[in-house]
Amino acid sequence: MINAMQANFDLKEHSHTRFNVLTGDWILVSPHRTKRPWQGKVEELPEDNRPAYDPSCYLCPGNKRADGSINPNYADSFVFTNDFASLLPDAPDGDINIDGLIKAKSARGTCRVISFSPDHSVTLPLLSVKEIKKVIDLWCEEIQNISADPSIRYIQIFENKGEIMGCSNPHPHGQIWAQNSVPLEIFKETIQQGKYFKEKGNSLLSDYVQLELKQKERLVLENEHFVALVPFWAVWPYETMIISKRQVQSLPQLTNEERLSFGDMLKKLTAKYDNLFHISFPYSAGIHQAPVNDGEHPGWHLHMHFYPPLLRSATVKKFMVGYEMLANPQRDITAESAAEKLRSLSGIHYKEAK
């Protein structure tokens, strides 16, 4: 049921705040600001022509890593423990609390690195669906292995792509960080999804996907088992989410067919991103799933977030400064117009379209 209070209030015209139903946060949307004149630069970047093998890359097959070990001559994907891990398995137990004012707890876990391909020159959208499926299978295997340690509470799979995101190596790869506590974003989403499930008996994201499939305004892609959309509450200009149509709590619960379908969705969505400004599109992306070794989470619904920083060209990015640091995030172009733009782009990568 739509609860529209004022006839004059238009989400496309008037500034408003939007509620992020997944986290409980709010964001300020100012659609009228896109009408102000833009004086920034618009430029094309030179074509990225990386070799398939880079002798100085610590992820390429056969190369030496920081700890002195040699990468195997792997054929598909390859996973290892980060030589500079932020979380270590042997951190001592500790819990400090001084008058409730100074609090700290020891953090223990592991950080793994996954190379998506032996080929230094490719990226996710340039892999075949079958190759992406092998990465998904490896993610599942890692989740199962890591969660066998009963002290682990959460496993975060993510990819940080592009120099603009501080990614130091262009070799296609992602990371897995696992830890003995539930991190902030997951903590918030667990509360919101749990509350919704208790009230409605359905997963929040199942109902949300149904609503988006009806409204169609923010849809980007749909296949048999997944949808990709710009969430109503998106903060980053071209932020998207991939959500499974069937509610599962974690990645390993996906069937073989669903994993292929997820691979297809990943390939098409990241191809659209590259097609937007004709560059290898930078982003931070990650899979959100239920905490592990933490009891039942019947409301949790597997999804993936893409947070890309670019705003209107290959080099003009959105900054999270000023009001956003001090109050809450803000955006100018609406989620609906970003979705319309992404929808209009081909799901076939411009390099594969020739």
- Among all residues, which ones are annotated catalytic? 173
- CA–CA dist 297, 295 (Å, integer): 7
CB nearer Zn ion, residue 174 or residue 347: 174
> What is the closest distance, in whole angstroms, from the C-beta atom of residue 184 to Zn ion in the complex?
11
* Separation of CA 255 from chain center: 21
Binding mask 7-46 for Zn ion (x = CB under 5 A): ----------------------------------------
Single out the residue of 57, 251, 266, 333 in contact with Zn ion (rule: CB under 5 A).
57
Single out the residue of 21, 27, 29, 59 in contact with Zn ion (rule: CB under 5 A).
59
Interface with Zn ion, residue 268, by CB under 5 A: no
Interface with Zn ion, residue 120, by CB under 5 A: yes
Q: Which residue is nearest to Zn ion, using beta carbons?
A: 57
Interface with Zn ion, residue 331, by CB under 5 A: no
Binding mask 201-240 for Zn ion (x = CB under 5 A): ----------------------------------------
Q: How many of the chain's residues bind Zn ion (CB under 5 A)?
A: 8
Binding mask 158-187 for Zn ion (x = CB under 5 A): -------------x----------------
> What is the closest distance, in whole angstroms, from the C-beta atom of residue 57 to Zn ion in the complex?
3
> What is the closest distance, in whole angstroms, from the C-beta atom of residue 56 to Zn ion in the complex?
9
> What is the closest distance, in whole angstroms, from the C-beta atom of residue 252 to Zn ion in the complex?
18
Q: Which stretch binds Zn ion (CB under 5 A): 90-98, 206-214, 269-277, 285-293?
A: 285-293
Interface with Zn ion, residue 60, by CB under 5 A: yes
Interface with Zn ion, residue 251, by CB under 5 A: no
Give the interface with Zn ion as residue ranges (CB under 5 A).
54, 57, 59-60, 120, 171, 189, 288
